[in-house]
Structure 1
Amino acid sequence: MTTAIPDHTRAAVVRAFGEPIGIEDVPVPPRVEAGGLLVEVVACSLCGTDVHCWEGSLALDIALPLILGHEMVGRVVAIGEGAQVDSVGQDLRVGDRVIWTHAFCGRCVMCARKRPAMCLNRSAYGHVSMQEWPYLMGGFAQHAYVLPGSGRVRVPDAVPDDLASMASCALRSVVNAVQQAGRVGPEHTVVVQGAGPLGILATGLFAQAGAGRVVTVGAPAARLELATAFGADDVVSLEEVPDPAERLDRVREATGGLGADLVAEFSGHPAAFAEGVEMAGLGARYLVVGQLGAGTTPIAPGTITKKNLTVIGSFSGDATHYHQALQVLERYADRLPFERLISGRYPLEDVNAVIGRMQAFQEIKPVLLPGARS
C-alpha cells in the first residue's frame, strides 16, 4: 500500500549545537519494512525539549547531525507489511493521519514489564543521527519514517493538524502524569508549577478532573491569563512575586495554611523542586514531570520524610496515552481553549527564528508546517 515515494525530502538539520540550522535534502528510504510507515509530515509543533536539544543542554545522548522534532503528525504515504492496523486496533490506510511514539525494542526488561516508555533500547525521534538508516527520525522535515517498534494512532477527523501534533508529546505527557498522580476531587487543592504548554494543559485536566482548587505558578502574564482560561482558580506570578518565600505564603493563603494536597511540577527549573516540596502539605503528593535537564538544586530531604510526602516521577507516555490525548482533544473541545496554545504557524525555513522566539518566551506552542513555503 503506497503512493509515490520521493528520492529526497527537505529537512531542518542540526550539525552543531547552538549553531544555525540549515535546510537540507535528506534521502528517503526507497522501501518501507514490515511494520513500518512512511508519512508526509503535515505539522510539527515545537517543544521546549527541542530548544534544549539544539542548545546541547539535555542530559541525554544526542547524536549529530540530526533532524529535530518529536511532536508531529503525518499523513501516511506508504504502509509496510502487517502495519494496516494502529496500536489501538483502528484500521490504517494511505492518506490517514497518524501520531506515533518513540521506537521500543519489545525485548528488554522494561518492555516485558509493559513500561515501553522506559525501554532500555529505545530510539527517540529528534535525537537519532540522520546519517543512520532510515534517516528521517525527526519532525522538522517534509517526511518521516515510523519504525516498526513505534506505536501509532490514527488521528480523528475532528482534530486539527496542529492540535494532533501537540497531542503527540505535550498532551500525552500530561495525560500520563495526571493518571499517575491519582484521584483528585473537590477536597483537594492542586498547585501546578509552570505556565508553559504542559503546565497550562495540566491546569485544565486537573480542573476537569474535579479538583476543588487549582493554583498555577509561573510567568509571563499572558501565560497565566491562559492558565486561568484553562481553569486555574488562582495564579501566582514569578515576575510579580520573585521571592520564593512570598510565593510559598501565597500558596498557604490559598490553602488555609495547610499547603497543597498535590503539587505538580511542569516548569523544568531545578529550583522549582525544592520550592514545590515546601508548597506541599502534610501527606501530600508531589508529581515531578518537567525535570529533564542536568541541573541540580539543594534540598533538605528530611522535609519529604517529615511531611510524609509521596514523590512521583512521570516520564513521556506510551501509545495508550497518545490515544487518550486525542480523545481529550475531542471530548473537551468545547470546554478548554486548546487552540489558544498554538501561538503561530511557520514554514520550515523559519525554524531558527522560531527557536529564538521560544527562547525569548514569545511563543507558547509554535507549529512548523514542512510543506509550506516562506
Structure 2
Amino acid sequence: MSIETVPKTSRAAVLTAHGEPLEIRELPIPTELEPGALLVKIEAATVCGSDLHLWDGSLAGSQALSLPVIPGHEMVGSVVRIGEGAERDTFGQPLRAGDRICFTHASCNQCEHCRLDNQPTLCANRQYYMFTSCAEAPYLVGGFAEYCYVFPNSGRVKVPDEVPTEWASAASCALRTVVHSFDRIGRLNPWETVVIQGSGPLGLFATALADHLGAERVITIGAPEDRLKIATSFGATDIVSIADAPEPRDRIDAVRGLLGGRGADVVFEFSGARTAFTEGLGMIKEGGRYMVTGQIDGPGKEVPVRPGFITRQQLTIMGTWSGHIAEYRKALQFMRNTRRRYDFGTLVPHRYPLEQATEALTRMRAQQDIKPVLVPHATAAQVST
C-alpha cells in the first residue's frame, strides 16, 4: 500500500572505500515491497561508534561486508509505504502514514539461535543494515539516506509521542544495547556498586540506567571532562577521569580507592579500549559480575588474561552483541518515563545535512561530538552544527 507520493530515487551517503569521504549518490527507491516490508522516510540517523569502525575498516574482523554500503543502523523513519501484512508493529500497534518507528536488523526466525535459544541477535542468517551492499535491490539498506527499506523480518516499534526523534534514534542502537547488557547481567540491587567503563554514548546511557535502577554507587570512567559532567548529571556518584588516571593501574587503583580497597559488585565495559577488559577484571570484587559490550574483534585486539584469576575470584563474565526489538521497546519506554530526570538531548546537540556525513564521522572520531545527528531531508542552512 502506498501512502504518499514518493520520489523515484533517494539520496544516500555511500561508503565506497574505507577511510575515504562518503559519496552522495542517487539510489532507486523500491516501488514494490515484499510482504511484511515497509518503506520509511528517514527523519534522523545518529552516528554510532560502529559507523566509525565501518568507515575506517576495523569492523572487517567481526562482520563480512561488500562495498558499497550505506552506513547507519540507528535511525527513526516515518512510514510512507506499507507492504502486505505490515500494518502493525511487532507489538501489535497499528501503523499509519507518518508514524515514527525504530526498526532492527532482520533475523531469520528459522535458525537454532532464533527458535531454540531465543537469541535473535546471534542469528546465523541475519540481514544487517550498513553491512548489506547498496548496489542491488532493495538498495536503501542504511540510515545515512533520505529513505530506508525495512526488511520483512525486521522488528519495528512505534516511537512514543513524548520521545523526540533524535533521542529515539540514539536509543535504537546505543541505549537498546545497554538495555540488553543490563538484562543479561541480571538484577541490580540497591546495595550494589557499579563501575561503568567508558563515557561515550553507551557509557552515559548505562550511567543513567544504573542510577535509575537504584545502584548504591555508580562510578563512571572516561573523558573528556564535558562527558564526565553529563555522567554526573545522569547519576554517577563518582567519576574517574582518564586525564587524571592515564594508565590502567591508575584507574584500577582509583576505583578501589573509592571503594575502600574493595572491587565493585558489577562492572560494565562500554569503552572499546584495548586494555579495558583486563582493567575491568582488576576492578571487580570476588564473586562479582562483568559485562563486556564495547569490544570488537580483529587484529591487534588481543590482550593477556590469566584464566586462573577468573577461577579463583569466581567471576561471572558475559558478553552482549547488539539488541533486538524487545530491547528497542524497553529503551524507548525508559526514555519516555525518565525524560524529566535525564536530559538525553545533551548527547545529541548537533545536526548535519546528508552532505556533511563525513564531517559528522570526523567530529565523532575527534570526540567533538558525542553522537552527531544526520537529518537527511534538511539543508545546511536548516540545521545547526
Q: Shorter-chain-normalised TM-score: which range?
A: over 0.9
Q: Which residue of 2 aligns with 1:301?
A: 307
Q: Which residue of 2 aligns with 1:310?
A: 316
- Is contact 2:52-2:361 (8 Å) kept? yes
- Is contact 2:291-2:317 (8 Å) kept? yes
> Could you report, residue by residue, the CA deviation over 1:285-310 in whole angstroms, capped at 9, with x for unpaired residues?
00101012321111222211111000
How far the C-alpha of 1:257 sits from its partner, in A, is 1.3
1:154-193 equivalences under 5 Å are: 154-193=158-197
The answer to whether residue 261 in structure 2 is matched with residue 257 in structure 1 is yes
Greater Cα offset, 200-209 or 3-12: 3-12
Report sequence identity in percent.
Answer: 50
Q: Distance in 2 between matches of 1:244 and 1:222?
A: 21
Alignment RMSD (CA, Å): 0.9
1:322-361 equivalences under 5 Å are: 322-361=328-367
TM-score, normalised by the number of residues in structure 2: 0.96
The answer to whether residue 64 in structure 2 is matched with residue 61 in structure 1 is yes
Identify which of 95, 101, 105 aligns with 1:102: 105
The runs of 5 or more residues in structure 2 that have no matched partner are: 381-385
Q: Which residue of 1 aligns with 2:51?
A: 50
Q: Distance in 2 between matches of 1:303 and 1:236?
A: 25
Q: Which residue of 2 aligns with 1:285?
A: 289
Q: Distance in 2 between matches of 1:270 and 1:92?
A: 43
Q: Which residue of 1 aligns with 2:156?
A: 152
Q: Distance in 2 between matches of 1:284 and 1:37?
A: 44
Aligned length: 374
TM-score, normalised by the number of residues in structure 1: 0.98
Q: Which residue of 2 aligns with 1:75?
A: 78
Instruction: Letter of the 1:136 partner, please give it.
Output: L
SS of 1:343 mapped into structure 2: coil
SS of 1:258 mapped into structure 2: coil
SS of 2:294 mapped into structure 1: coil
How far the C-alpha of 1:118 sits from its partner, in A, is 1.0
- Is contact 2:248-2:275 (8 Å) kept? no
Instruction: Letter of the 1:314 partner, please give it.
Output: T
> Could you report, residue by residue, the CA deviation over 1:99-139 in whole angstroms, capped at 9, with x for unpaired residues?
00001111111111221111100011111100121011000
How far the C-alpha of 1:184 sits from its partner, in A, is 1.3
SS of 1:365 mapped into structure 2: coil
SS of 1:99 mapped into structure 2: strand
- Is contact 1:220-1:237 (8 Å) kept? yes
SS of 1:268 mapped into structure 2: coil
Q: Which residue of 2 aligns with 1:367?
A: 373
- Is contact 1:287-1:312 (8 Å) kept? yes
How far the C-alpha of 1:243 sits from its partner, in A, is 2.1
Greater Cα offset, 39-48 or 313-322: 313-322
- After TM superposition, the runs of 4+ consecutive aligned structure 1 residues lying more than 2 A away are none
1:114-263 equivalences under 5 Å are: 114-263=118-267
- Is contact 1:68-1:140 (8 Å) kept? yes
- Is contact 1:5-1:30 (8 Å) kept? no
- Is contact 2:245-2:254 (8 Å) kept? no
Q: Distance in 2 between matches of 1:54 and 1:212?
A: 39
Instruction: Letter of the 2:291 partner, please give it.
Output: L
- Is contact 1:103-1:151 (8 Å) kept? yes
Instruction: Letter of the 1:40 partner, please give it.
Output: K
SS of 2:211 mapped into structure 1: helix
- Is contact 1:344-1:367 (8 Å) kept? yes
- Is contact 2:103-2:155 (8 Å) kept? yes
